[in-house]
Amino acid sequence: MSGSEVTTVVVVAVERQIRCGPACERGCVCLHRNHPPTVIEALRPRHPLRRTAYGSRTVADYDQVVVAVTVVNACLRDGRGGSPTAVLDEMPLSDAERRAVPARVGASHAVFVAARDDRSVSLRFFTVEGELPACGHGTVAALAFLAERASAVDHEVGRAGAADHEVGRAGASDYEVELHTRQRVLPGRAVRAAAHVDADFDPGPIVLREPTGMEENLVLSALRTAPGDYAGGARVASLGRARLLVPLATRAAVADLDPDLDRLRAAADRLGLLGCYAYSVPAADGRLAARMFAPSIGVPEDIANANSTACLAACLAGAGSADIAVDMGDSVGSPATIVATARPGPSGTRVRVGGAATVAGVRHLA
């Protein structure tokens, strides 16, 4: 086997995180014929690699590993903007190495994807400050990443009938998968359009409550809202980690916010909050603007925050229904839109949230 063939074996085995098996028609050692389009390239092995022995090796067995990171722009608005999100296959990295990924590719978050079986994947989310139990726009990005991968597989080997093995394959353009996060199992789906992927998911039960006086006062003072801009009726909402939803009277009031981020971080840390989601009172058609400040997790302002938008949909629905489209990211130069629906269900309000996404490119990190 040549050196290039050795590298190919390493690429497939590391990226797919699968056990070695019989050689496929390409001469690679893997359990699937349908190889993903992105790669993790392991270079310069320290010792020869036998075709049947990779299952016991790790990244540490190689002098250099180049990690391929797919950057997905999640929650586009009219085909542009969105939140750049790093998406990559699960591999043996330390938490410190995972935290370093977002900044290295110009993203706020990174999501690590691992196949569990042919209909489910596990997701882990990181910012520069550490791991998160959930990330809404990261979930949208992961769905787009997986849907594009399935489409590429279909294109490559579908005519031979081999694409049915790919995780979540439901049809030529529809993609469905079960997403396992640290705390929840989420049904996700994606539909490929001409230039993007429309992805959405059910984030699970949302817990809402009124804030205490201290919670409201500490956060509002750090937001530095202008007199009369606060519309009243803030709520603490949680999808595993609480955040404060703050309604403001107008879109202009949201745009004009200039919070004291140090005070907001101190308040969030003291209160155990993820951050603050300030939003305008919705128009009759459900359109509104929002900004999410989360300095405690290393994100001074989020370009798109889908989980907080899901919380808002549940809050606005009450015991009924809500359909909202939330514009974010304008203040940081990357327009984004998240859509969410809330409907009454037998066990409470059911929400779906998502947006359009597109793969922006692949970055290789050594």
Q: Which domains does the chain have, with CATH numbers?
A: 3-201 (3.10.310.10), 207-346 (3.10.310.10)
**Is the pLDDT assigned to residue 170 strictly greater than 60?**
no
Q: How confident is the model at residue 366 (pLDDT cuts 50, 70, 90)?
A: confident
Each residue of 48-107: pLDDT tens digit?
A: 322 223 334 444 554 557 889 999 999 999 999 999 999 999 999 999 999 999 999 999
Do residues 4 and 44 lie in contact, with contact meaning Cβ atoms separated by under 8 Å? Answer: no
Each residue of 120-129: pLDDT tens digit?
A: 999 999 999 9
**Is the pLDDT assigned to residue 43 strictly greater than 70?**
no
Distance, in Å, from the CA atom of 313 to the CA atom of 200, rounded to the nearest integer, reads 14
Do residues 250 and 289 lie in contact, with contact meaning Cβ atoms separated by under 8 Å? Answer: no
Count Cβ neighbours within 10 Å for each residue of 167-197 and write b for 16 or more, e otherwise.
bbbeeeeebbbbbbbeeeebebbbbbeeebb
pLDDT at 6 (0 to 100): 32
Mean pLDDT, all residues of the chain: 82
Across the range 280-296, mean pLDDT stands at 97
pLDDT at 207 (0 to 100): 95
Helices (H), 166-305: 213-223, 251-255, 261-271
Distance, in Å, from the CA atom of 23 to the CA atom of 25, rounded to the nearest integer, reads 7
Share of the chain above pLDDT 90, in %: 69
Q: Tell me the C-alpha to C-alpha distance, in Å, between residue 266 and each of 65, 212, 215, 260, 272.
A: 39, 17, 12, 10, 10
pLDDT at 128 (0 to 100): 95
Bridge partners, residue 115, by sequence:
121
Distance, in Å, from the CA atom of 218 to the CA atom of 204, rounded to the nearest integer, reads 29
pLDDT at 190 (0 to 100): 97
pLDDT, greater one: 31 or 187: 187
Q: What is the distance, to the nearest Å, from the Cα of residue 100 to the centroid of all Cα atoms in its chain?
A: 16
pLDDT, greater one: 364 or 240: 364
**Is the pLDDT assigned to residue 154 strictly greater than 80?**
no
Each residue of 2-21: pLDDT tens digit?
A: 333 333 223 323 333 333 33
pLDDT at 16 (0 to 100): 33
Q: How many CA atoms lie within 13 A of 136 on its CB side?
A: 31
Backbone angles phi, psi at 364, to 5 degrees: -110, 120
Q: What is the full DSSP assignment across 110-128?
A: EEEEEEEETTEEEEEEEET
pTM value is 0.80
